[in-house]
Amino acid sequence: MREFRDAARVQALIQKIAPLADELAAAFGRPIQIMEVCGGHTHAIFRYGFAQLLPHSIEFIHGPGCPVCVLPVKVIDEAIAISAKADTILTTFGDPMRVPGTSQSLLQAKAHGADIRVVYSPLDALTIATKNPHKQVVFLAIGFDTTMPSTALTLTTAKAQGINNFSVLCHHIRLMPTLEALLAGGDIQLDGFIGPGHVSMVIGTDAYQPVAKVHHKPLVVAGFEPVDFLLALYQLLIQLKEGRCETENAYARVVNHRGNLTALAAMDSVFDYGEDCQWRGLGWVENSGVRIKPDFSAFDASKHFSPSAEPGIQQEPCYCQQVLKGQRKPNQCPLFAKHCKPEHPLGALMVSSEGACAAYYQYLPDKETGIHG
């Protein structure tokens, strides 16, 4: 992997990219606007200093690809309500623990005595269930298509092993319907996409055909090392220069055009698609949600616990939506770094390290004081 972090290679790519971007921006009469869909790429842009190394003729619009950032308040409230029930253990990944709910986060609920445990894998949640046969163990499942196969396989294993004290509160979301909704909305100006590397290893590059064919935007899938990202950016600029609009793969050592067929089959056997789903900041996104199939309803926590249908109260500032859609930079929000900080987030984009606001806070120091993160 070291080769994909090599400084000389990074430098060579930047030397290729900079004049090309300047030339395109001059032709367009404005900076080139590229959306990196994935929160991991947003983080990489700042971590590796691309925001400073690349010319101002390229502007990155940070996409909605951080599932933690778009988790609605209602989901946190539901999970906390479940964790408050007797003899119940709520498990989830570390990422959603600090997301603000209506009155508290999962971390605060845990501090107040709820049995909430962070797991590395849904399989670990299943192990907790087998070790605690007299308790109900619920796994709050979040994440894009990358994470869905692991939940699917865990549910298949639970069913095969007849584990009857395990269930999943399913709040997975799918990437492609989200991209399509974003493009159909028409209120974002952008020239092309850097595609998410690890969602793509599951769904394959063929899944992005509508982006190029229907919405006429080029997309290049990128890995997460600095050289991977810059190579994808270079390929994207070449497409713009040549007036092409295609789906390309700059992460072919991991991603193929069909995706992981075993993972897709596991998803298809457990989940039904086509659910409209509420996103924090974006509202309802058509078709982006998934539901556990009736065959697995014994493992569907929403059936067992009948979580309240009451919508959670969105307390976050209205600026979050503009940042999520790329209409405002995080540091153009009047609350940024003053009232909204990683240790006291008002909006979810400041909660996750992959959120655009958290990345700005950590890596872009305040112009006057020189400090932030």
Window 156 to 175, contacts with another protein (CB under 8 A) = none
Both structure tokens of 85: 């029930």
Residue 53 burial by Cβ neighbours in a 10 Å radius (0-12, 13-18, 19+) = middle
Should residue 39 be labelled a site residue for another protein when binding is judged by CB under 8 A?
yes
Residues 6+ apart with CB under 8 A from 99: 68, 71, 76, 105, 106, 348, 351, 352
Window 132 to 151, contacts with another protein (CB under 8 A) = 142-144, 146-147, 149-150
End-to-end CA distance of the chain: 28
Both structure tokens of 278: 């509420």
DSSP 91: E
| C-beta of 253 vs 303, nearer to another protein | 253
| Contact track, another protein, 334-373, x by CB under 8 A | ------------------x-x-------------------
d(CA 5, CA 146): 24
Number of residues in contact with another protein, rule: CB under 8 A?
49
Exactly one of 61, 236, 266, 324 binds another protein (CB under 8 A); that residue is 266
| Contact track, another protein, 82-121, x by CB under 8 A | -----------x-x------------------------xx
Should residue 66 be labelled a site residue for another protein when binding is judged by CB under 8 A?
yes
Both structure tokens of 275: 């659910």
How far CA 59 is from CA of 34, 160, 193, 204, in Å, comes to 6, 50, 12, 27
Handedness of CA 358, 359, 364, 365 (dihedral sign): positive
Should residue 193 be labelled a site residue for another protein when binding is judged by CB under 8 A?
no
Should residue 122 be labelled a site residue for another protein when binding is judged by CB under 8 A?
yes
Cross-strand partners of 35: 61, 193
Should residue 282 be labelled a site residue for another protein when binding is judged by CB under 8 A?
no
Should residue 2 be labelled a site residue for another protein when binding is judged by CB under 8 A?
no
| C-beta of 97 vs 109, nearer to another protein | 97
Which SS3 state, helix, strand or coil, does residue 59 take? strand
User: Of the candidates 194, 242, 192, 148, which has an alpha carbon nearest to the alpha carbon of residue 50?
Assistant: 194
- For 59-81, give the DSSP string: EEEEEEE-TTTT--HHHHHHHHH
Exactly one of 38, 137, 320, 350 binds another protein (CB under 8 A); that residue is 38
Window 321 to 340, contacts with another protein (CB under 8 A) = none
- Judged by CB under 8 A, which stretch of 12-20, 49-57, 274-282, 284-292 contacts another protein? 12-20
Should residue 8 be labelled a site residue for another protein when binding is judged by CB under 8 A?
yes
Both structure tokens of 39: 């929160």
Should residue 22 be labelled a site residue for another protein when binding is judged by CB under 8 A?
no
Under the rule (CB under 8 A), what is the footprint of another protein? 1, 3, 8-9, 11-13, 15-16, 38-40, 65-68, 93, 95, 120-124, 142-144, 146-147, 149-150, 153, 196, 198-199, 201-202, 224, 227, 231, 252-255, 260, 262-263, 266, 352, 354
